[in-house]
With several copies, the nearest count.
Chain A
Amino acid sequence: MAKITLIEAVTMAMAHELEHDDSVVVFGEDVGPNGGVFRATAGLQERFGKERVFDSPLAESMIAGLAVGMSAQGMKPVGEIQFSGFAYPAFDQLISHAARMRHRTRGRLHCPMVIRAPSGGGIHAPEHHSESMEAIYAHTPGLRVVMPSSPARAYGLLLASIRDPDPVVFLEPKRIYRLVKQEVPDNGEALPLDTCFVLREGDDVTMVTWGAMVHETLKAAEAMAKEGVSCEVIDLATISPIDYETILESVEKTGRLVVVHEAPRSCGVGAEIAAEVAEKAVYSLLAPIQRVTGYDTVMPLFRREMDYLPSTARVVAAVKKTLED
């Protein structure tokens, strides 16, 4: 079996669903002959035809709104927003309709749709190409928000997202689209959307993160291990609704928590996790919960973006802080 990258796993998952479910269509800006600006849909139009995989006019509210309409009529549209920073015009359709259709109609209509978008920074892209806005979706009842951090999880979680009867915002960490290759069998086996993944077990400190930051965090855990500190690294994977059980179990064991994400700190998903754990696990906590996040500033243009993104060094420093006393 060939080893594939995260983005190839995304393509493989879409191909698998296009193959096995006639109601699935893939559409968006440049997803057709061009195969997507990151090549996520490369070859799909050739293989499945223009009626299953097609380019759309340049309009994000339209992409989300068409997906709402199509999915309410029984299709399973997978719409691509070219970069997550261009999803803002789609918010009204996602928040006011995709997330509410089932509730509004008491289940008569619902929206089994997926909106995919490359997310996050670190690729030296122009302005607006590096946003991390998962918290906004996570604050929206009725949506599921998913972000994979490995080829295998990208494949399994995207399958699950496309099959899910409710709307899913699937954010792809573009910085690690091609970072690692992994053997991923194209077996159509989905991964659950209601659990996070323990990537590394440890007893001293729990680290919760997602997307590209998983790799900085694993490196930090590695570095700490050299210093004799054993860190448990959890990939949140499904950012909303959150699987608190796994996180709380881990914190009850370690007594320490560091949350790492690249989105701005204030009202980020890290705040939600820290607040919930501080309330529920208050008696097992041995140190204040640390959040290592992007700053509450605009993501700078790329000459400075690496100073904005949490670094291994910043994560290590936070872990040490939890061990201070």
Chain B
Amino acid sequence: MKTVAKFEIGFEQFIDESGKAVQKLPKFAEKPAELIKMYRMMTLTRLFDTRAIALQRTGKLGTYASSLGHEAIHVGIGAAMKEEDALAPMYREYGAQFWRGVKLSEVLLYWGGDERGSDFSGPAHDFAWCVPIATQCLHGAGAAMAFKLRKEKRCAVAVVGDGGTSEGDFYEAINAAGAFQLPIVFVVSNNQWAISVPLKEQTACETLAQKAFAGGFQGVQVDGNDIVAVRDAMEKGLAKARKGDGPTLIEAMTYRLSDHTTADDATRYRGKEEVDAAEKKEPLLRLRQYLMSLGEWDDAREKALIDECKQQVADAVKEYENTPKPSLESMFDYMYAELPEALEEQRAAALAAGETESAHG
């Protein structure tokens, strides 16, 4: 039997879990200021996350999907992308979105049951949160197709989870991205769990990066708790895409330290040991240690940063809580560019019925 094709998947890490650089860092990481900027956003995201969960617990927010443990992946994505690039997120990538200009209060509005959260302050062309798993991969590919056809030097980034890689839409997107050589980077946020389903029951694949071979392009695995590795891989993938050399798939290895959402109770299906083990590898810790080893960070600066972020979160919560609920009309007024006559009667009826919270016996 003669061999007709060969493939390899590589793994990249720059800063290990003890905060030590295991190899020469890429250019962007040589400037402490840049690392601190990323560390700052990771910290803000985490403090936001803690507060959002608290809001949900006290009935002030709906179901909320935590990003705890994913901060390096999300902020790494945000830091590597250009403003004109398009992000097609799933539902947890707050770090990337904050970096791109989405307001904390907008995330709260969304999980607070208000569509206005998706009319956010981030790039107007970015896609909103996407609940139907993996469908956003095709939106990213479609955006990349638009950029390519218009000969714009823009890229799309689609983020999907380990579970999401089992969906047909994920695969159709990578196959299309390969076939059309689209300027897109797929990031598989591999946090080991799809709600209660562990990776080994999701697929027999040794890596998720190898799924790229089914699209005819290269995949790479990175330490998703090492923001330097994530951003470096993102920058390489985006540069390749911008050059017209097609798509890349990045599998970022991390761990979902929280419940799946506030509606979930992870203790039902996974043990404390594995969570404790994963916590030792979490992304903020190692970056802080690295910065400290450079003499670029200390407890005072840490405390100042936390106070500053907490204030920012508090302001966002106030803004969220002071936002009145959307108008009744808004149920109808964004269905079409112009309200079809057929809907006018229903709109009138709804307005006539008025506020009906109470009208439900």
A1-47 with Cβ < 8 A to chain B: 25, 29-30, 32-35, 37
Among residues of A, the one whose C-beta sits closest to the C-beta of B166 is A57
Q: When chains A and B are docked, how far (Å) is the Cα of A216 from the Cα of B356?
A: 13
The verdict on A185 contacting chain B, using a C-beta distance below 8 Å, is: no
Known: A72-B143, A75-B149, A109-B128. A126 touches B62 (CB 8 A): yes
Q: Per a CB cutoff under 8 Å, which of A32, A104, A128, A312 touches B115?
A: A104
Query: What 8 A-B pairs have minimum CB-CB distances, sorted nearest first?
Result: A69-B142, A65-B138, A34-B196, A219-B361, A313-B359, A302-B113, A312-B361, A311-B359
Contact A65 B111 (CB under 8 A): no
Interface string of A241-253 (1 = CB under 8 A from B): 1111100000000
Contact B167 A304 (CB under 8 A): no
Residue of B128, B343, B353 ringed by the most chain A CB atoms within 10 A: B128
Contact A216 B361 (CB under 8 A): yes
Q: Per a CB cutoff under 8 Å, which of B113, B115, B173, B269 touches A106?
A: B115
A77-121 with Cβ < 8 A to chain B: 77, 85-86, 88-89, 92-93, 96-97, 102-110
Known: A57-B179, A59-B168, A92-B132. A72 touches B142 (CB 8 A): yes
Q: When chains A and B are docked, how far (Å) is the Cα of A55 from the Cα of B91?
A: 23
Contact A106 B118 (CB under 8 A): yes
| Closest beta carbon of chain B to A247's beta carbon, Å | 11
Which A residues are CB-close (under 8 A) to B197?
Answer: 29-30, 32, 55, 57-58
22 A-B pairs (CB sep. < 8 Å): A34-B195, A37-B195, A57-B166, A57-B201, A58-B163, A62-B166, A65-B172, A70-B142, A72-B139, A96-B132, A105-B118, A107-B334, A142-B336, A222-B361, A242-B342, A243-B341, A266-B342, A301-B113, A307-B355, A307-B356, A311-B353, A314-B356
Q: When chains A and B are docked, how far (Å) is the Cα of A265 from the Cα of B347?
A: 13
The verdict on B127 contacting chain A, using a C-beta distance below 8 Å, is: yes
Contact A62 B176 (CB under 8 A): yes
Q: When chains A and B are docked, how far (Å) is the Cα of A35 from the Cα of B86?
A: 32
Which B residues are CB-close (under 8 A) to A267?
Answer: none
Q: When chains A and B are docked, how far (Å) is the Cα of A190 from the Cα of B333?
A: 25
The verdict on A188 contacting chain B, using a C-beta distance below 8 Å, is: no
Which A residues are CB-close (under 8 A) to B166?
Answer: 57-59, 62
Contact B62 A302 (CB under 8 A): yes
Which B residues are CB-close (under 8 A) to A56?
Answer: 176, 179
Contact A62 B173 (CB under 8 A): yes
Which A residues are CB-close (under 8 A) to B343?
Answer: 241, 295-297
Known: A73-B86, A106-B115, A304-B326. A142 touches B335 (CB 8 A): yes
Q: When chains A and B are docked, how far (Å) is the Cα of A59 from the Cα of B194?
A: 12
| Closest beta carbon of chain A to B178's beta carbon, Å | 9
Which B residues are CB-close (under 8 A) to A109?
Answer: 125, 127-128
| Closest beta carbon of chain A to B105's beta carbon, Å | 15
The verdict on A309 contacting chain B, using a C-beta distance below 8 Å, is: yes
Known: A68-B138, A69-B143, A304-B331. A295 touches B350 (CB 8 A): yes
Among residues of B, the one whose C-beta sits closest to the C-beta of A107 is B334
Of the four ranges (under 10, 10 to 19, 20 to 34, 35 or more), the interface on chain A belongs to: 35 or more
The verdict on A165 contacting chain B, using a C-beta distance below 8 Å, is: yes
Known: A29-B194, A57-B166, A65-B141. A306 touches B176 (CB 8 A): no
The verdict on B124 contacting chain A, using a C-beta distance below 8 Å, is: yes
Q: When chains A and B are docked, how far (Å) is the Cα of A96 from the Cα of B129?
A: 13
Which A residues are CB-close (under 8 A) to B336?
Answer: 102, 142, 144, 165-166
Contact B334 A102 (CB under 8 A): yes
Among residues of A, the one whose C-beta sits closest to the C-beta of B336 is A166
Q: When chains A and B are docked, how far (Å) is the Cα of A33 from the Cα of B120?
A: 38
Which A residues are CB-close (under 8 A) to B269?
Answer: 33-34
Which A residues are CB-close (under 8 A) to B201?
Answer: 55, 57
Contact B115 A301 (CB under 8 A): yes
Known interface pairs A88-B132, A102-B334, A125-B62; 20 further A-B residue pairs with C-beta atoms within 8 A, sorted by A's residue number: A57-B179, A58-B167, A61-B138, A62-B176, A69-B139, A70-B145, A93-B138, A108-B118, A124-B62, A128-B131, A144-B336, A220-B361, A295-B346, A297-B346, A300-B115, A304-B331, A306-B357, A307-B357, A308-B331, A312-B361
| Closest beta carbon of chain B to A19's beta carbon, Å | 16
The verdict on A194 contacting chain B, using a C-beta distance below 8 Å, is: yes
| Closest beta carbon of chain A to B187's beta carbon, Å | 16
The verdict on A127 contacting chain B, using a C-beta distance below 8 Å, is: yes
Contact B335 A102 (CB under 8 A): yes
Of the four ranges (under 10, 10 to 19, 20 to 34, 35 or more), the interface on chain B belongs to: 35 or more
Q: Per a CB cutoff under 8 Å, which of A33, A93, A265, A308 touches B135?
A: A93
Q: When chains A and B are docked, how far (Å) is the Cα of A97 from the Cα of B119?
A: 15
Contact A68 B176 (CB under 8 A): no
Q: When chains A and B are docked, how far (Å) is the Cα of A55 from the Cα of B163?
A: 12
Among residues of B, the one whose C-beta sits closest to the C-beta of A238 is B340
Among residues of B, the one whose C-beta sits closest to the C-beta of A306 is B357
| Closest beta carbon of chain A to B348's beta carbon, Å | 11
Among residues of B, the one whose C-beta sits closest to the C-beta of A38 is B263
| Closest beta carbon of chain A to B181's beta carbon, Å | 13
Contact B342 A241 (CB under 8 A): yes
The verdict on B192 contacting chain A, using a C-beta distance below 8 Å, is: no
Q: When chains A and B are docked, how far (Å) is the Cα of A303 from the Cα of B337?
A: 23
Among residues of B, the one whose C-beta sits closest to the C-beta of A102 is B334
Known: A30-B197, A59-B175, A303-B326. A73 touches B142 (CB 8 A): yes
| Closest beta carbon of chain B to A133's beta carbon, Å | 14
Which B residues are CB-close (under 8 A) to A304?
Answer: 113, 325-326, 328, 330-331
A137-177 with Cβ < 8 A to chain B: 141-142, 144, 164-166
Q: When chains A and B are docked, how far (Å) is the Cα of A219 from the Cα of B361?
A: 6
Q: When chains A and B are docked, how far (Å) is the Cα of A34 from the Cα of B269?
A: 6
Contact A298 B62 (CB under 8 A): no
Which A residues are CB-close (under 8 A) to B156?
Answer: 69
| Closest beta carbon of chain B to A111's beta carbon, Å | 10
The verdict on B207 contacting chain A, using a C-beta distance below 8 Å, is: no
The verdict on B203 contacting chain A, using a C-beta distance below 8 Å, is: yes
Known: A57-B176, A58-B202, A93-B135. A74 touches B146 (CB 8 A): yes
